[in-house]
Structure 1
Amino acid sequence: MNTVKQGAIELVLCDMDGTLLMPDHSISPRNFAAVKALQAIGVHFTLATGRPPRGMRDQVKQLGIELPTAAFNGGVLVSADGSYLQSHRLPYEAVRKTLEVLAHHSEVEVWVFADDEWLLRDPHGPMVAQEQNSLGYAPRVVLDFEQYGQRVDKIVATCRNVSLLAELEHQLQRAFNDQALASRSQAHYLDVTAPRANKGDALVTLANLLGVPLERTMVIGDGGNDPAMFHRAGLSVAMGQASQEVRQQAMQVTSSNLEDGVAQAIERYVLKR
């Protein structure tokens, strides 16, 4: 772990699934209280997630967040009224290449997010019910994704075979040649996004909008899409249940999301200072 390099924290950017949220997608009372305590003393708090904008509205409302949020790993910045401030879509060639690679693996479910819709071909896939429960809305079934190829915000490959997804992650990273990014937001989810759709660039943009120096920012996360913001923040905190690879890229490690790790980090590094 690196040495903490920030002064007083003015902005906290937090991941959602596996970080702020419990496994049932709820916000624990302690995490909720910690966020409200930040807001009460004037510290900015907002979210950066792999979810689509529609999949974070309930939590934004619950927490009373009035700042822009980062969806699709930073591919879309969304204002409090739901309008898009910034959007980075996948290049068509990257969309085509991704779908071509994934088509060779029948056990992998492929989801495409475009036009504010969650698109898929098989509504009975083993991971669909879980995702619908998480996002809070149903997918749209399509025969193919071709008509959406120029308007894709994110592609997700998901299956129970974690080793296969890790292999596909490396395969796509090699194939893209800077056209796109492939990273696992969770063990069973492989996200493909535009090159600038990353939480590090999102942090920089949000900090600039709020007039906060990067050295006065804190970020918290647990997945393979979070080190991008770890490397830009004044203070980076990994969740206790994150993989060793992710934890090693953060300056500090807190407890797991089952143990209110977000609240512990906020209390220790912001409120007590």
Structure 2
Amino acid sequence: MDYQQPSRLQAAILDWAGTVVDFGSFAPTQIFVEAFAEFGVQVSLEEARGPMGMGKWDHIRTLCNIPEIAERYRAVCGRTPTDADVSAIYERFMPLQIEKIAEHSALIPGALDAIASLRDKGLKVGTCSGYPAVVMARVVELARENGYVPDHVVATDEVPNGRPHPAQSLANVIALGINDVAACVKVDNTWPGILEGRSAGMWTVALTCSGNALGLTYQQFKNLPQDKLEAARGRISQMFEGARPHYLIDTITDLPAVIDAINARLARGEMPQSN
């Protein structure tokens, strides 16, 4: 049997915070600040946003590896943070995250219409996140109450390696019954999430304005002067350069047009790994 390249997309693998819910991706970042504060260590919101997209334990470990944060921890605790210290911060992070996730659970404006358009185009909807399963359960429950029910969900602790490894996206491929990774598009607002999709052999779409990179509320985004918005887009595009997304768009509302563009490229015989 000869290999047949896909001619149309079959699935979209969507991130959660900053992609479909929680415009500005505030739920995870603010809780990192609060969790470190409970150990007497100051971490700024900007610092907390840096590794966004990773699994939460890995995110905390990465923050603790930053020399300035490690020194602040040493000044308070008498040592630079070990893996045991990271686990202690993580254990405090978890209940805070579950407790406050509802405060940032609103769907991104236009997300439901965009996802309905994807389904009209014949796509299944898989999802993954840097959240562990215990947090994802609450996120999924709140999303369902707001009308969003994806076909599959994969939490970061349900695979051997979280982002930027491809395991979560590939778990969606298997669960959704997709026959070729090139028939999938990964949509995310973080560089680890885009690397995840790239490593999985998928098309990738980076969101520049609804997530962690811009870090504004929806209203702040809408009120941003055009010159500042253009400057922000340029800065964020540079942040994503190393991850090599195929497309950059402001928010998920722009996704249906990108799906059409990818389908046209697939029909011409183009593949994601050749771009």
TM-score (norm: length of structure 1): 0.46
TM-score (norm: length of structure 2): 0.46
Larger gyration radius, structure 1 or structure 2? 2
